[in-house]
Chain A
């Protein structure tokens, strides 16, 4: 379960950074990138608190 949650979390991070690279490569617009980054942000903050800090 935690592994699955971590996958969702890291997907959130990927959605945060990847769009900017696609903008740089002229593959998507900046406006589209902003929406994807927001989705990534929401995903990260929904899934991460359930596993991060559990081992420390």
Chain B
């Protein structure tokens, strides 16, 4: 009886993968504010803030870099992703199928799903550092790539299992949980940072800036870490979610929005999560470094527990969980689009399994900055293609939705654009020494230009062939 009821509930999860969202299913501001605030106040914030400290960012570089970087991210969601999401109201994957064709979409979807799995895996790994506290688990360090104990593996499996179960019940459940947890999580981040300020030497508000410049973000990187500047912070802040805004992955989320400008709701995630939470976690980590004489252990759970007790540890677990959930959901959507008749919950279960396996490896956490930059860069060209297809292609008398219009399963223009962009970025990195954090911007222009030019060429040939046949 229970089994039938459960299966019925799982099978009833309808996410409108291949149809526009009906009017009565559209969501208001609250859903997106909660979703973005919860999603970007994540377990990974407990990693990124400390990594900025490790990379020797100066205090003013961090404050200003995040201010402008996050602003650019919000504007990208609002003016690039939001309008296209409400115009079509279909998932990124279905839209790509219309433009790029089934074959290229399958390639994109598999890569995308794997990236999402790795990202969600890093979040689960972060949560695990908190779960392991009562068991005195050996924590990973900055140099660890492989699991260092059986306890780590078991804890990852438990967190991964629970996260997957919640994600199997669909977007509504995820959204509800994120809504409930978000305000509390944010306050725990802030409270933990404020509570340890006296131990860093801040006894009045007037002391803060001096301590921030000299003890917290003192501009000196840890041994073996590269030096970060204002520009690193700005571009990282902008591109940390590049796959979601400029890369258009959030079409799948914002298609539920009643208005295009709900993309501005991302500001809650950027300025609360990617600003306050990064600053707060940086403060906590600097105390840890001070007390441990620059230990290379890197475990957000114990760091939060040191500052806020059980509430802090719970915050790390839940922050990882609420972000891993929508990420697993997105990965599920990516894979499901390969074979739409697959049930959403079954696909999500498979995705959860891959995610949990990935989470076992601490390398995902230790190289998180590089990984998120790479993940955005790889997926970004498809966002540029969608934007060009929506606004530029019709203006130069070419057909939108190439694959659907010409009944093709492979859009060579999109494939060329994608491949050339990534190849160009690789060359920029190898021969000009441009770091991965900066490649997204030139990459976007390359992708856009190549797509428009190659579409012009390919569609002209098609028109000629049609003419010849007649």
Chain A interface residues (CB < 8 Å from chain B): 12-13, 16-17, 19-21, 23-24, 26, 30-31, 33-35, 37-38, 40-41, 44-45, 48-49, 52-53, 55-56
Asked whether B310 lies within 8 Å of A45 as measured between CB atoms, the reply is no
In the complex, whether B190 has a CB less than 8 A from a CB of chain A is yes
Of listed A20, A26, A31, residue having the most chain B CB within 10 A: A20
In angstroms, Cα B256 to Cα A51, docked, is 22
B194 touches A21 (CB 8 A): yes
The answer to whether B191 and A17 touch across the interface, beta carbons within 8 angstroms, is yes
Is there contact, CB below 8 Å, between B180 and A16?
no
Cβ of B168 within 8 Å of any chain A Cβ, yes or no, is: no
Mask of B312-334 contacts with A, CB within 8 angstroms, 1/0: 10100000000000000000000
7 tightest Cβ-Cβ pairs between the two chains A and B: A34-B309, A20-B191, A20-B195, A37-B311, A20-B194, A53-B176, A23-B195
* Shortest Cβ distance from A10 into B: residue: B183
* B457 located at the interface, meaning its Cβ lies under 8 Å from any Cβ of chain A in the complex: no
Closest to A51 in B: B180
The docked-state distance in angstroms from the alpha carbon of A37 to that of B31 is 27
Does any Cβ of A come within 8 Å of B184's Cβ?
Answer: yes
Asked if B441 CB lies within 8 Å of chain A CBs, one says: no
Q: Which B residues fall within an 8 A CB radius of A?
A: 27-28, 30-31, 175-176, 179-180, 183-184, 187-188, 190-198, 202-203, 307-312, 314
Is the pair B180, A35 in contact by a Cβ cutoff of 8 Å?
A: no
- A16-B191, A24-B197 known; A53-B309 Cβ under 8 A: no
A34 to chain B, nearest CB (A): 3
Q: In the complex, how many angstroms separate the beta carbon of A38 from the nearest chain B beta carbon?
A: 5
- Selected from B28, B184, B311, the residue in CB contact (under 8 A) with A34 is B311
- Per the bound structure, the CA–CA distance linking A53 and B172 in Å amounts to 10
Q: Is the CB of B191 within 8 A of A53?
A: no
**In the bound complex, how far is the Cα of B177 from the Cα of A45, in angstroms?**
10
What are 17 A-B interface contacts by the 8 Å CB criterion?
A13-B187, A16-B188, A19-B191, A19-B195, A20-B192, A20-B308, A24-B197, A24-B202, A31-B309, A33-B195, A34-B309, A34-B312, A37-B311, A38-B309, A41-B310, A49-B176, A52-B179
Please determine whether A17 and B197 come into contact, CB atoms closer than 8 angstroms: no
**Does A13 lie within 8 Å of B191, measured CB to CB?**
no
CB of B191 within 8 A of CB of A56, answer no
Across the interface, which residues of A come within 8 angstroms of B188, CB to CB?
16, 37, 41
* Residue of chain B at shortest CB distance from A40: B311
Please report the C-alpha to C-alpha distance between residue A16 and residue B193 in the assembled complex, in whole angstroms. 12
Separation in Å of the A10 CB from the closest CB of chain B?
9
B184 touches A37 (CB 8 A): no
